[in-house]
Every structure is written in C-alpha cells, then in structure tokens.
Amino acid sequence: MKNRDSSIEISPEVKKALKNSAPVVALESTIISHGMPYPQNIETALSLERTIREKGATPATIAVIEGKIKIGLSEKEIDLLARAKDVRKASRRDLPVVVASKLNAATTVAGTMICASLAGIPIFATGGIGGVHRGAETSFDISADLQELGRTGVTVVCAGAKAILDLPLTLEYLETMGVPVIGYRTDEFPAFYSRSSGLAVDYRLDEAGAIARVMASKKELEIGGGILVTNPIPEEFSMERAKIDRAVEAALIEARRNGIAGKELTPFLLDKIKELTGGESLSANIELVRSNAALAAEIAVAYSQVPAR
Ligand code: PSU
Ligand code: MN
C-alpha cells in the first residue's frame, strides 16, 4: 500500500481486527451529521456500533476530522459530528478538498465506500443509498453513490432507497454500472420506510453465508465494483405506503418551491418527511439502520470464514 499515513488514521481496535482478518463493518457518517437530528443521531450511531459488536464484528465508523480520514471514531468525534454545524458532506468529489483543507466532513455512501476500500474493509452498513432523483432527465441529479457502487469493491447493506428517488431508474442505473442487487429474504426491492416497491431485485438470497460467497466470487473473478444488499425494514416498524407517499410528494413540492438542489436536496427532503410524518419516519429510520448493521455484521462474520480468498 502507498504511504497514506498522513491522511488516513485507522483506530487501534480496527487495525487489530484487520490484521487478524477478523470481521469489520464500516459505517457512514452523513447519516449522523445530515440525515438525523440531535440527539437521535448520536444515540443511533452509538447503538449501531453496539449492535455490530454483539454480532461478533468490529464497527468502523468513518468520517474526516480536521482533514484526516478516520477509520473508527471515538465517542468524542461522533459527538462532534452529531452537534457541529459546519460539518461538510463528503462524496467522491469532496474528499480531496476536505482532506487538503483540513476540514471536518461526514462521508456519504460513496465517500465511505472509498475510505473503507482504502482501509481494506469489504462491507458497510447504511440506511438508504442515494439514487436517481425524480426529474433527473432535466436536473441530471444522480447520486454519486451509484457510480461508486460500479467501481469500488465494497458490499453495501441498505434498506433499498427512498421514494424521494425514482426507484425504477435507480435500478436501471445500477444494472448499467454492473452492480448486483441482492434481496435479503425478499424478491422485491425494498423502499426504505416500507418493505415493498413493486420492483423486483435481481437475486434473492436468504442466508448471510450465501451473500458472503457472492462477495468471495466477485473478488476471485476480479470483477471489481460493489454489491448492493437490500434488507427490508422489519415488518413491525414499516410504515404505511400511502402515508409515506403523501409526505414524499409534499416534500418534493416544497423543495421545488424553495429552489433546493445539489447536495442540499437529500438532507432537505429527509427533514421535511420527518416533519410531515410527525417523527414516525425517524423511528422507522433508526430501526432499519440497526437491522442493516446486524445483517452486515452477520455477512462480515460469514465472509471471514469463507475459505481460500
Ligand atoms: N438516503 C437516506 N438517508 C441518508 C442518505 C441517503 O435515506 O442519510 C445520505 C447518504 O449518506 C447518501 C447521501 O450517500 O445521503 C446521498 O446524497 P446525494 O443524493 O447528495 O448523493
Ligand atoms: Mn445529488
């Protein structure tokens, strides 16, 4: 590996796990700084780390702190990301700038995939990925997460994508980029707050071990790029589809009226939906990320046991 010691700092705990080929699960930080309000954001971030430990893996929450890419954060650093107002949102294009300018930045799915891959972590858990926005045919707003899934070899466990996006186009784009979309115990691409979207996934796999074997094949064949594992929100927390659809429509209208675009759009929509559902969307969000962290840890454990990689 090239000497990147001045830009990347892996915590001693994560370093040790990686050295021993023990299972590690990466976690993103945009969800902390821009995806959830305080104090639910810090509570969730810490509880995800606990969930991963309980499943026998080591958590590695990733962010940029004063220009250093940190793999594995202290509680103090998580607290900073949860409270500070000037934390940037770092996707692929932002990483070199926030590092060189010594800024604090939360990493998106794309940003976290890059950092996880640099550190040698093959799997990462999040809530929802970015995707093709509705109206992308005129706005060109397609999240860099999709390109990243096409090029960086990290498996991303999510609850599908939110209906703020154009889900059929998001799936088309993933196909173009060569990303396998796997449904964990489901035939349907989950729609984040609800378990169904009416859209089929490419493959259904019912066991963590089967997903770990796909990761191993992709590596062995040197195909490159990521894998998207979609895990539907647990039944008991899933929201009524009509209710969430109404909130999404209203949030989109509000965004248009306020001229919100670019990297501000996703956080704006998330916040509006939370407001419009009286906080119900926030509790659903917390539960689904927890479920994704648990599944990612199971896959990481299974992957660490796949022979001859
Ligand atoms: N979708 C969610 N919650 C989130 C995000 C997406 O349901 O917190 C965050 C993720 O970090 C994702 C990013 O990578 O937003 C996508 O932003 P954009 O659409 O600007 O690429
Ligand atoms: Mn965008």
Tell me 132's DSSP state: B
> 184: exposed, middle or buried (C-beta count within 10 Å: 0-12, 13-18, 19+)?
buried
Identify whether the C-beta of residue 165 lies closer than 8 Å to the C-beta of residue 134: yes
Specify the number of domains making up the chain.
Answer: 1
Beta carbon of 272 within 6 Å of any ligand 1 atom: no
Residue 309 counted as domain residue:
no
Is the residue at 201 inside a domain?
A: yes
The verdict on residue 257 lying in a domain is yes
Which residues, chain by chain, have CB under 5 Å from ion ligand 2?
A: 141
Residue 113 falls inside a structural domain: yes
Question: Which ligand has the minimum distance to the alpha carbon of residue 136?
Answer: 2
Let me know if residue 178 belongs to a domain.
yes
Closest atom of ligand 1 to CA, residue 262:
20
The pLDDT value given to residue 240? 86
pLDDT of 95: 98
Any domain includes 39: yes
pLDDT of residue 2: 64
* Full residue range of the structural domain in which residue 163 is found: 2-304
In tens, the pLDDT along 203-217 reads 999 999 999 999 999
How many Å separate Cα 281 from the centre of its chain? 17
Q: For residue 5, what pLDDT is reported?
A: 75
Q: Is the CB of 263 under 6 A from ligand 1?
A: yes
pLDDT value for 97: 98
> Does an H or E element contain 91, and which?
none
CA 195 to centroid of ligand 2, rounded, Å: 24
Q: What are phi and psi of 56, to 5 degrees?
A: 90, 20
Name the pTM for this structure. Answer: 0.96
pLDDT number for residue 279: 85
Kindly list the catalytic residues: 28, 162
Give the helix/strand (H/E) hosting 146: helix 144-151
Give the CA diameter of the chain.
55
* 30 Cβ inside 6 Å of ligand 1: yes
Walk along the chain (309 residues) in steps of 10 and give the mean pLDDT of each run: 81 98 98 95 98 98 98 98 97 98 98 98 97 95 98 98 93 98 98 94 97 97 97 95 90 95 92 90 94 98 86
Residue 24 Cα to ligand 1 midpoint, Å, equals: 22
Residue 4: predicted pLDDT: 77
Write the CA distances from 255 to 82, 194, 219, 303, integer angstroms.
24, 22, 41, 42
| pLDDT given for residue 307 in this prediction | 81
Assigned domain for 85 exists: yes
The CATH number of the domain where 273 resides is what? 3.40.1790.10
